[in-house]
Each structure stands twice: as C-alpha cells, then as structure tokens.
Amino acid sequence: MRQHRLIATLVNLRGNPRGCVYTEPLWGSPFNLYAPYVSVYMLALGLTDQQIGLIVSITMGVQIGMMLLSGVVTDKLGRRRTTLISDILSWSIPALISALAQNFWYFLIAGLLNTFWRISWNAWSCLLVEDADPEQLVDIYTWIYIANQLVGFIAPLAGVVIGSYGLVPTMRGLYLLAAFMFTLKALTTYWLTSETKQGLVRLQQTQHQSIFSILGEYKGVLQALLHSPQTLYLAAIILVNHITWTINGSFWAIIVTQKLQVPEQYLAFFPFLKSGIMLIFFFALIPLINKLPFRLPLTLGFLGYVISQLLLISAPVQGYVFLIISVFLEACSYATVTPLMDKLTALTIDAKERARIQSIVFMVVILLTAPFGWIAGTLSEINKALPFLVNMILYLVGSGLAFYIGSMAQKKAITI
C-alpha cells in the first residue's frame, strides 16, 4: 500500500525541520487549551472591550520595534539561540503573569513581553526552512498546522473544567501549565536543532558589527525590497491576514458569547470542530492543492473566509447551525490559505537576506495592523458585528490580491 505523501514527509524529516515540527505540540497543546477563553477571561477580571482592544493596539505598536530588531538579533545571535531566548521571554513568562493577573496592567505587561514572539518567529522560521528541501515546504508547514490542530481535540477538556470550577480558576491553572510546556518546548527545540548554513554565514559576517551598524544596512535591503513587486503584493496579503487574525483572535469569543449568547463552557467545542475539519482537509485535499498553481485555491480560500464572516454576523441568538457552518468554512479557508502563504513567503523572499527582509515586511505589516485592535474594540462597543464587517471587506481585498499575484507568477513562469 502506497504511503500518504504527508506521512512520508513526516517520517523522513531530518535535521532542523524535524526538530521544529516534532516539538510543535508542546506549544500547541497549552495554547489551544487557553486561547478560546482569553478575551472572556479578561472580561471576567473587569476589563472592557475597549481596554482589550487597547492592549492589542499597544502591543502591536511595540511589535514594530521587535520586528525591526528581529533580523539583527537573529543574524547576530544565530537562529537557534535567538529562538530559545525569545521563546521563553515571549511565551513562558507572559503565561506566568497571566496566571496571576488581577487587572488591566497585568495583561498589558504580559502582552508587552509577548511581543518578543516577533523575534522568536523570525528566528524559528529561518531555522525551519533554510536547510529544508524546497519541494517539502508545503508539507512541512502543513505538519506544523496539523500538530497544532491535533492538540485542538483536547480543547473541550477546558470547557468541562470551566463548567465544574469556573472560568477564572481554570484559566489560571491552564496558564501555569502553559508556562511549563512552553519552556519545555523551547529547551527541546534547542537540543534537537543546529545552526543553519546561512545562520553560520550571518554569524561570521556580523561578528564584529554593532547592532546600529547592522541596522544601517537596512537601507540597501529596503531598496531591493521596493524593487520586488511580487514581494510587495505578498506583503499586502500578509497585512490582510494579520488584521483579520487580530480581529478574530480578540473578538470572536465576545460576539459568540454576548451577541449569540452561547455559554462560555461551549466555546471549546468550536476549536475542536475546527481541528477535525482542518485535519480532514489537510490529508484529503492539500496533496491535490499542492499540485495546482496557487492562484485558484488561494483566491477561493479568501472568498470562503468572506462567507464564514457573513454567516457569523447574521446568525440568530444561539444559532448553532449558522455558527457551525461558519466555523466549517473558516477551517477550510485557513487550511487552504495558510500553508500556501507560508510556501509563497519562503520562496519569494531572498534566502540570503531572509531574516532582514522578513523583519522589514512584518514591521510594516505590524505598523499598519496596530490601530485595528483599538478600532475593532471601539466598533465592538457599538455593535458586536462591526469588526467582522471589516474582516469581510479585507478578505475581499485579499482574494483580489491573491488572484493578481498568482497571475504575475504565472506570467513569469514561477512555480509556487
């Protein structure tokens, strides 16, 4: 019997891709347990919608500086060491603070520390892809998402515990568990990986350079970036994704519990459902999608997002059928768009300047995304549906950009 392509990729992973993929459940397990309840946990401790949005906007603003520094730090310290240090700063310590949170200021401090994840992400993504086989990139990224979706099946356990012990005590316990597992993941990834070939080159090149000297070189990198239309359109699609993820991550639980009046303990069912749908999608359709020019599936993925948001805002009180179909479409769209976007990013960005180009692109993305936390919070105070109307408009823009950048790639005979 022929082995499934994704299974074959997982079994045959070696080196840094194996070290990054195999340890991902250590991050995904605790994150998926507490993530559906973060915003309602904040509300339970006295925060308002506007304060939640303000935290999102402030931390997004700080992420601009973190993203700018991420390329410098990643080159100066190396991909592997940077990943270890920034993972602990951005995930382990904020989880401890959130476990002890009493008011707005605790969450703000935790959020500010969490901004180090921008440095961690840049270093980790370089560690993951720089020595990987380009033909395996979609499969590698797919396994990253599969790892996080598999652990989504344990999310309902949080709902059961919340039903028995209450929201706040359960969330404190989940955050303590997360702090331990995030630390274990950081240490294990460091142990299983080695510095990449390009990382060693950049370590040698920057050995005697100051941080300010390396930052001064960004001018030339920026000029090269501005003369790469495909990278600029890619950056625009990334911007759409970041704004919509920010809105969904902060306000989905609020609209579901307050507008649709779904009990808090049922929230965990929806990540469970989403995980199941995405796993089926990954194994059944991603191998087929991987053979297609990415323009069509990427465009359809964004249009699927539009319909899912429309169903969400038009659902009646406790309209579970609307909500389930919305989650189904969102899961299919996410499973289509995200691995393709990751592969597109990996192949479009110049490998020799990956860390610095990624830092510039995502710095601009964060700068433009930052106000949307506060904007969405203000809109949510007026009407819980308004932030998701913004999402619908942005997803329509994303579908147009995906179609256009796909046409550009096709004309240049670029296989993505």
pLDDT digits (tens, 9 = 90+) for 126-142: 898 888 777 777 778 77
Name the maximum alpha-carbon separation found in the chain. Answer: 62
pLDDT band at 174 (very low <50, low <70, confident <90, very high): very high
Q: Which two tokens stand for residue 70?
A: 């991420």
Q: Which two tokens stand for residue 190?
A: 């460091």
Lowest mean pLDDT among 78-87, 307-316, 358-367: 358-367
Q: In the prediction, which pLDDT does 98 show?
A: 96
Q: In the prediction, which pLDDT does 151 show?
A: 67
Average pLDDT over residues 324-352: 81
Nearest-5° Cα angle at 338, 113 to 271: 70
pLDDT band at 413 (very low <50, low <70, confident <90, very high): very low
Q: Is residue 317 scored above 90 in pLDDT?
A: no
Question: Could you tell me which residue, 398 or 221, shows the higher pLDDT?
Answer: 398
Q: Is residue 67 scored above 50 in pLDDT?
A: yes
Q: Is residue 100 scored above 80 in pLDDT?
A: yes
Query: pTM, whole model, 2 decimals?
Result: 0.71
Q: In the prediction, which pLDDT does 287 show?
A: 66
Cα distances (angstroms) measured from residue 356 to each of 75, 295, 301, 362: 8, 27, 29, 10
pLDDT band at 407 (very low <50, low <70, confident <90, very high): low
Give the separation between CA 162 and CA 40, rounded to whole angstroms: 12
For residue range 256-307, what is the model confidence (pLDDT) as tens digits? 888 888 887 777 778 778 878 888 887 777 667 666 667 778 888 899 999 9
Burial class (CB in 10 A: 0-12, 13-18, 19+), 284: exposed
Q: Which two tokens stand for residue 400?
A: 């147009």
Q: Is residue 87 scored above 70 in pLDDT?
A: yes
Cα distances (angstroms) measured from residue 124 to each of 14, 227, 339, 407: 16, 27, 16, 30
pLDDT band at 2 (very low <50, low <70, confident <90, very high): low
Average pLDDT over residues 177-193: 96
Q: Which two tokens stand for residue 167?
A: 């929201």
The answer to whether 332 and 277 are in contact (CB under 8 A) is: yes
Output the average pLDDT for the chain.
84
- The candidate with the shortest Cα–Cα distance to 188, out of 27, 367, 411, 394, is 27
Question: Could you tell me which residue, 48 or 343, shows the higher pLDDT?
Answer: 48
Which residues have CB under 8 Å from 159's CB, separation 6+? 265, 266, 267, 268, 269
- The candidate with the shortest Cα–Cα distance to 75, out of 204, 192, 187, 225, is 204
Give the separation between CA 56 and CA 70, rounded to whole angstroms: 20
Task: With H, G, I as helix, E, B as strand and everything else as coil, classify residue 315.
Answer: coil
